[in-house]
Structure 1
């Protein structure tokens, strides 16, 4: 079992090794306790050779923090790693000094339910997924006696969706305004969101070389980069995110006229305050409120309302599969819903004729 001892302003970490029939000690000194603990755990993990039951006295919060630095850091994108770091702070607040040996599904469920009181079901679910992954890893390494992660369920309030699709009426009003006021770069960015359904980071990641005109004089954007507020990693969210999106010539020419910034991109991230700017614009135009991501939802919902094939919509959005598109993005626009309601009632009425 590892030991951490403070010596002056330093922390000495020590672990026991058993090699070639002899017990040995491996020692190293660090400037902070967290660095010493992480080094000790990493070496304990590398020892392998059976169950590490002695480590069950480690708190779950400590295990989770060390686990994401040792295991997850090299397995996930930088933006995902930053999400794990934020979850680590949540785990510290929720679980405090609760040790691994004291964890079970009831304990974890109570903590998740506590978190769910002030958070949406979606947010709670995202936190729980990361916690479950850590719990399964802890079990696999022998730090937990049972694999109970699957027994813990997501609960929480179903909050109103913020990324609401605009109605067709509001979509037309907004699009007309944006086309008539392209001297403002935010308006161009918003227009592209409506016209392409691209994610905000993908729009901010457009470079001159990403624009294309093919042999059939079709215009488009090659989605190859994504700009994040939490990382310098510009790689795309998934392999399906790499795609070519067609646009009409008018929009293509509007984008081409935007001055290229010093970093080689068309748009400045501008503090990633796009949703706040959009809220001001929508209020000015007397249009229902939505987020900047809601423009992506609007694009998808509009295509769906016009009976565009769902496979095409899914590919255009860069989704992993059609199920993702169905689950999250294809809510009917109000006008389409009313039409579908009327069609359904007419079909039912025809049964009695």
Structure 2
């Protein structure tokens, strides 16, 4: 394996090679340890035409880091890469010194199940997706002999959905209150979330130039973990219409020193929302639940699915169907009654 040695203010990386029956070493000096590590990892991946790594003492945790920095770092958004960094810590704790050539679906599944005992199915699934990605990469390079990633399953606790859509009754109650109390800018943030279905980061990313007559141009997204302001997906760039009543209140908000309309508020929007809903005696939901509420209300009013999908900024209609086709209670009860009436009329 490569070695990194500090020499004064610099770092020397050294990689061992074995060619034509002789051991050789190549070295290179860098100003930072991170640069030295990345060069060493890249050299390890390249040597021997990419077929020797699994026959050495490379652990899966080390390989995941190699893959994460050399492959994924340049392919994903900065905020997404932060998720890989968090997954890296989990994987290192789970797999410890287990080597690539000791891996199979049973070994990996046991580790996944160990993690799933104390985590939700959703959280576990996010880690499993990254494990699968690294394993498929290792198989494609010839570092492991079997492509068993497809056999792995996500388990874990199925928790009650936190971001539930509000009922139509509660939606009207909340919307009426925030419209009548525009003196608190947070109320206007809630109002705009209900009105547009925008993600929290997109709402916080609104600048004065993004507010056009009776509409919002979605161009930026603010993250609590990164300075990256790019949107989540390509289709997230969109223009959303709003009615005059909401527009007249939004344009009154003074621009902040950082150039945005809303205060970031330490990214405590969900906590403040919980306090507001308790005050109004409305069942709690998360800030993302306001997005669900917007979508569910449009569905309940028979708005075209294609329009709703574009308004939400989804990449395709299937995403909209999978995650947001959840009718509000009142609408479901009405459709149950309509279905029974139709059957009784047979």
TM-score, with structure 1 as normaliser: 0.91
Per the TM alignment, residue 67 of structure 1 is displaced from its structure 2 partner at its CA by: 1.8
- Identify which range, 324-333 or 43-52, moves more after superposition: 43-52
For structure 2, list consecutive stretches of 5 or more residues without a partner in the other structure. Answer: none
In the alignment of these two chains, the number of paired residues is 345
Aligned mate of 1:291, from 286, 292, 308:
286
Q: How does 1:185-204 map to 2 (within 5 A)?
A: 185-204=185-204
SS at match of 2:229: coil
Per the TM alignment, residue 148 of structure 1 is displaced from its structure 2 partner at its CA by: 1.0
**How far apart, CA to CA, are the structure 1 residues paired with 2:159 and 2:208?**
40
Q: How does 1:302-341 map to 2 (within 5 A)?
A: 302-341=297-336
Residue pair 2:4, 2:36 contacting (<8 A) in 1 also:
no
Per the TM alignment, residue 59 of structure 1 is displaced from its structure 2 partner at its CA by: 1.1
* 1:226 alignment counterpart: 221
* 1:83 alignment counterpart: 83
Structure 1 residues 57, 23: CA separation in 2 closer, same or farther (over 3 Å shift)? closer
Structure 1 residues 34, 108: CA separation in 2 closer, same or farther (over 3 Å shift)? farther
**How far apart, CA to CA, are the structure 1 residues paired with 2:50 and 2:108?**
26
Matched, 1:255 2:250: yes
* 2:133 alignment counterpart: 133
Q: How does 1:58-73 map to 2 (within 5 A)?
A: 58-73=58-73
**How far apart, CA to CA, are the structure 2 residues paired with 1:337 and 1:307?**
13
- Identify which range, 104-113 or 55-64, moves more after superposition: 55-64
Q: How does 1:103-182 map to 2 (within 5 A)?
A: 103-182=103-182
Matched, 1:25 2:11: no
Aligned mate of 1:342, from 326, 337, 345:
337
**How far apart, CA to CA, are the structure 2 residues paired with 1:73 and 1:113?**
27
Structure 1 residues 17, 8: CA separation in 2 closer, same or farther (over 3 Å shift)? closer
Per the TM alignment, residue 3 of structure 1 is displaced from its structure 2 partner at its CA by: 3.4
Residue pair 1:210, 1:221 contacting (<8 A) in 2 also:
yes
SS at match of 2:26: strand
* 1:4 alignment counterpart: 3
SS at match of 1:244: strand
Matched, 1:51 2:51: yes
- Identify which range, 200-209 or 55-64, moves more after superposition: 55-64
Residue pair 2:4, 2:37 contacting (<8 A) in 1 also:
no
Residue pair 1:14, 1:28 contacting (<8 A) in 2 also:
yes
Structure 1 residues 50, 232: CA separation in 2 closer, same or farther (over 3 Å shift)? closer
**How far apart, CA to CA, are the structure 2 residues paired with 1:5 and 1:308?**
61
For structure 1, list consecutive stretches of 5 or more residues without a partner in the other structure. Answer: 214-218
Let me know the Cα RMSD of the aligned residues: 2.3
**How far apart, CA to CA, are the structure 1 residues paired with 2:185 and 2:223?**
19
Residue pair 1:60, 1:98 contacting (<8 A) in 2 also:
yes
